Structure 1
Amino acid sequence: MGIVTAVSRNGTYAFTKPNRDAITLLDGLGVEGDVHAGVTVKHRFHMRKDPTRPNLRQVHLIHEELFEEVREAGFSVTAGQLGENVTTRGLDLLGLPTGALLRLGGEAVVEVTGLRNPCAQIDGLQKGLLKRMVERDGDGAPRPLTGVMSVVRAGGVVRPGDPIVIELPDRPHHPLRIV
């Protein structure tokens, strides 16, 4: 079991998202009051490609442990600065299979849809940080470290300190890919 350490949302397009005392997840839409909430894609890049595509990026979750890893390399990153809505601790988000359900607090449930791709805006936060957001696997293929994307399956309020419980989908499990 993991824990929510911070929640963030922003009603306007900006790379970072201010931390909040709580956020409300809306079934099938995303974070109430967040610019990325909606049934269809809201990410500017994806909207230019096809604005009718389903929004698989309603809620962005990132593991707080990543901030500690990059801090060792001389960077300073805090919750919300990479645009995530939910910052977690104690979960291997990147190791989850597609379709895993995360119960956040008492009511909210999100379904993991895939990995978040790191974008060039990360270097706008701190020069050189983007390079730290990708690692290479044993075959040399890139593996993004910037968290996972999800859709809301059950709405509810999420606050720092809320527990996170994982429900894995039936096998066979499918590894996460960039959405």
Structure 2
Amino acid sequence: MPGVTVVAVHRDAEHRFSKQPVEEIVLLAGLGVKGDAHLGVTVQHRSRVRRDPTQPNLRQVHLIHAELLDEVSHEVRPGDLGENVTTRGVDLLGLPTGTLLHLGAEAVVRVTGLRNPCTQIDGFSDGLLRELVTRDEAGHVVRLGGVMGVVERGGVVRAGDAIVVETPAGEPRPLEPV
């Protein structure tokens, strides 16, 4: 896939909605993004911790395709929606569950599912949630807020790094919210 790249990387040590742009992030195998509030083996998202703090953290890394930011009618920059990695040139939402994303020279993230956008998005920009959670012609909910993954192999990721997509063998399983 030509032109499949990392546009920007972000992290934030606090549980804020948007993440700060940085020169590089360090992915730690089985944990997530070093220095990010969502780092951990078990779930770190506050609403999920309240429900069951022992759940595995299937949301260690959040990825959004820059094409989404280009399409929405709101002013949204990379990192504004809380993603760790902004990509370009790969249909993240069309990937099957278990796809491996090789980011840069070393890091590998396994896609676990779809981000389930929440009402905090309207706190960032009123009405944006309606653009990120829509319905298809059959009336099924369509989530456009990116994908979540876990770190299979650690490494440094920077803007401009290539992304290599490795789909899993066997029957593809569509992404579901995690």
| TM-score of Structure 1 vs Structure 2, range by shorter chain | over 0.9
Cα shift at 1:138: 2.9
Gaps of 5+ in 1: none
Asked if 1:118 is matched to 2:99, the reply is no
- CA deviations on 1:108-134 (whole Å, 9 max, x unpaired) are 000000000011011111111110112
Alignment of 1:9-24 (within 5 A): 9-24=11-26
Asked if 1:61 is matched to 2:63, the reply is yes
- CA deviations on 1:71-110 (whole Å, 9 max, x unpaired) are xx3x100000000000000000000000000000000000
Aligned-partner Cα distance in 2 for 1:21–1:103:
18
Cα shift at 1:171: 1.3
Cα shift at 1:136: 1.6
Asked if 1:143 is matched to 2:142, the reply is yes
Residue of structure 1 equivalent to 2:48: 46
Aligned length: 176
Cα shift at 1:135: 2.4
Aligned-partner Cα distance in 2 for 1:13–1:136:
29
Aligned-partner Cα distance in 2 for 1:171–1:138:
29
Aligned-partner Cα distance in 1 for 2:123–2:78:
16
| Secondary structure in structure 2 of the residue aligned to 1:65 | helix
List structure 1 runs of 4+ shifted beyond 6 angstroms.
Answer: none
TM-score, normalising length: structure 2: 0.97
Residue of structure 2 equivalent to 1:168: 167
Gaps of 5+ in 2: none
| Secondary structure in structure 1 of the residue aligned to 2:123 | helix
Q: RMSD in angstroms over aligned alpha carbons?
A: 0.6
Aligned-partner Cα distance in 1 for 2:21–2:83:
10
Pairing partner for 2:29 from 5, 27, 30: 27
Residue type of the alignment partner of 2:136 = D
Aligned-partner Cα distance in 2 for 1:156–1:84:
18
Aligned-partner Cα distance in 2 for 1:138–1:41:
34
Cα shift at 1:137: 2.0
Alignment of 1:66-85 (within 5 A): 66-70=68-72, 73=73, 75-85=74-84
Residue type of the alignment partner of 1:162 = D
Aligned-partner Cα distance in 2 for 1:153–1:139:
36
